[in-house]
Amino acid sequence: MKKLLHALAGALIFLTPLVWSALLVYGNGFNTGFRDFIFSTMTDSPFVGVVFGLILILLVLVYLGTFGRPRSRKRYISFESESGSVSISINAVRDFVRKIGDEFGSVVSMDPKIHSEKNMLCIDLDVKIQTGSRLPELSEKLQGRVRESIRDGLGIVDVREIKVKVQEIVGAPPASPID
């Protein structure tokens, strides 16, 4: 509906001045009586000119108002299984991976970014972790768990890489014993 309104408003915006110009050319070049009628209408009643101008402004506003961000197309990851082709939306994979972060007590939140390179899945995990977490061990376990879950839960075996990006370390630092 929005596209139709945009097209109609655009057509009227561009056709109205074109028709008006054609009428002026016709009136000035071929039919002076018609020219006198057009100019007398505009000069005798300024209301006609105001209405014409307001309609044109309204059409321009409708036209500009129908511009908008196009709906984003859903992106899918496709792969072949034993029974045929399977497509999973990137959003579904993102939600699936996000839930894996709940299995780790030291992961406060996890925001996966999923993309495909050379027909292989790449995952960037933006994580917030608790203070005192052992980052090398946590990242290795997280990467292994995500790879395993994607393979077993979704059937996707072509995972190129899983990057863990620690965005924030939250919580109070552990109290150090006083010597």
pLDDT band for position 126 (cuts 50, 70, 90): very high
Q: Which domains does the chain have, with CATH numbers?
A: 2-65 (no CATH), 76-170 (3.30.70.1350)
**Does 176 score more than 60 pLDDT?**
no
Rounded CA-CA distance 91/114 in Å is 8
Q: Please tell me the least confidently modeled range out of 21-30, 70-79, 108-117.
A: 21-30
More confident residue, 167 or 50: 167
For 77, phi then psi, to 5°, come to: -105, 125
The whole-number pLDDT of residue 169 equals 92
Above pLDDT 70, what percent of the chain?
A: 71
The whole-number pLDDT of residue 166 equals 94
Query: According to the 3-state scheme, what is the secondary structure of 117-146?
Result: ECCEEEEEEEEEEECCCCHHHHHHHHHHHH
> What would the pLDDT profile of 149-158 be if each residue is shown by its tens digit?
999 998 888 8
> What would the pLDDT profile of 59-97 be if each residue is shown by its tens digit?
777 777 777 666 666 788 877 777 888 888 889 999 999
pLDDT band for position 45 (cuts 50, 70, 90): low
Report if pTM > 0.85: no
For helices 46-65 and 32-44, what crossing angle results, to 10°? Answer: 90
pLDDT band for position 164 (cuts 50, 70, 90): very high
More confident residue, 77 or 44: 77
**Does 55 score more than 70 pLDDT?**
yes
The mean pLDDT of 127-148, rounded to a whole number, is 93
Give CA angle at 77 (72, 80), nearest 5°: 150
Residue type, 2: K
